[in-house]
Structure 1
């Protein structure tokens, strides 16, 4: 009996090893930590603004809230104006390096950048250290040079594309990774909901930092660094793999990704600040509850997309953009291609910071919901572009 049990365990372990699980646990922890920080940051940032800025005249409580809210958005803009251009250039460099030397080092650098970013914000938010907001400029520069969170996600996508050459397998793994990301977000909200009253927002950030440091150490020890396959005649191969009209399709995917990042990046970044105002006046607990519900809906949507739309109705992949990037590129170009995709997101971040955040600051006193109408229009354009991509994908038999 004992021998049979041992054999079963060995078979189970052998099957698990065939799943090639490497980056998925990292994704889970990163999502958990990123969500935990995003939940505690609005109130911590508001408290910092109250210690830094004092209105020149007496303001009623709702107007005072808007005064500090505009300052929060202003400093978010200041950070992004410095960070995003640097991170764009760094993303190209790290993407090219990863195509030659492997994905592990850029991934680890991206992970360190997240840890450093948190350190700067913790020193600014904490009442004990309470360093000046101007330190954010230095933090934004250092984190940008190291690629920040987006480099990390780009490396994860490249890892998956390297591991799974089969488009169908890659498609399923992409969906699973996104589900894991949503699950991590749910757990991060749960942790904040249970810890914030016990150890406070800064205490929660210490827990986040501990989890990131442990993840970094384990990544150094466990992650493999397989080198991407080499191709002798890169130009001719590229021309063969990516004909002109499919390149146009790829650019359309990048454009859709740009609009997607623009709207949803703004929505995710703004919702925590927006709900500090009337009529919401959300506490950290209430914001955590919202962040708990959102990933559950996302997971349900993933399952629905995988089981109903993809397998039952044979629709194209929910992750057609990722598939287009991975399936239209050679393995020697995957890192650069995902880096370019990341830059589309970064450029969207610049547009978000320069345009949408500015619109919010200028209209919040006149009509605080105006920016949401602007985002609705952009979303409609993005949805139309996704429809075009779907039609072309079906016609050209791109994706699975």
Structure 2
């Protein structure tokens, strides 16, 4: 008879109890283990340590539930208030989206905020340089982990910013940045993102839908979704109305008011770019006109399906669509060619005389978003990565602005001007 070999390890076969252990069983096991340890101690124990641990865990769970419920209530109240901006819950809206975050899930530590020290960058506008956002008063906010920034917008009336990442195969990302807290992702994978001039509204393309929402306390509230044409993208805002390009590959724009129905097809089929708005609801735009289909400046009437009010084809403007309207609606800074110039440069156009507009060379070409820091001064970054300051009085006097280097910029990085960050 052959000998029976002992097992190769200390296992004695199948376990006597199932591996699936419930919470009650774990608590009983914990009590038993700690009780045995207590029996070996020389001093008596006045209270059951296992019971204290179990009760402490229960209190922690109850605190998390209460905190989550409170957060949901606050976010719901904010969403309800912001919904009024979009005309109420009609026309194919989705209910307010409320995200309840586990209070224990703190994520990354708060981004450090330096006190106003002068810093390496000082300008009339907030600037993003590498992994640092520097405000006009020298305050610096760490953006480590955010990644490249293509556009940045200050949120009016709040100490915070919205940052838009570049377009990738996965889409664009929208970040909310507030001093003293870690940057927070509001959107990821959006095809196109448009921000209102005050940073309180955002619209984006999500799959087959156009979506609009308010921004309150660094969160998206009062979300409205509608089906959209296959190539429709939001490009900006006119008040609470979203400016939409129904087909990103063709000229034409439409206006969509969230909460009032689907995106209208639009009857404007000549507009190729929108630079901004003037008081009274007129959009300043670029249109194709005449048999040559040359690019011309135009004022569009928002009350009449964006029909042109005035058109000026005397200004030789670039078709890159870069340009921005001053806060008072009088001045337009854009790329083009002044009389006698052979190369594109930034031009300053007086919109009060559109039809016979006064045009002056203003500086090197715009390569990204520009920001008006006052009704008579604008700041932008040129092709060399330098900061250009355009002052209307000096341009009218014949002076052409030049760029100034920005200190603290690493090789390969480009400063990003934060719009809406006037002093």
TM-score in terms of structure 1 length: 0.21
Which structure is richer in relative contact order (CA contacts within 8 A, separation 6 or more)? 1
Q: Which has the higher strand share?
A: 2
Q: Which has the higher helix share?
A: 1
TM-score in terms of structure 2 length: 0.20
Which protein shows a greater Rg? 2
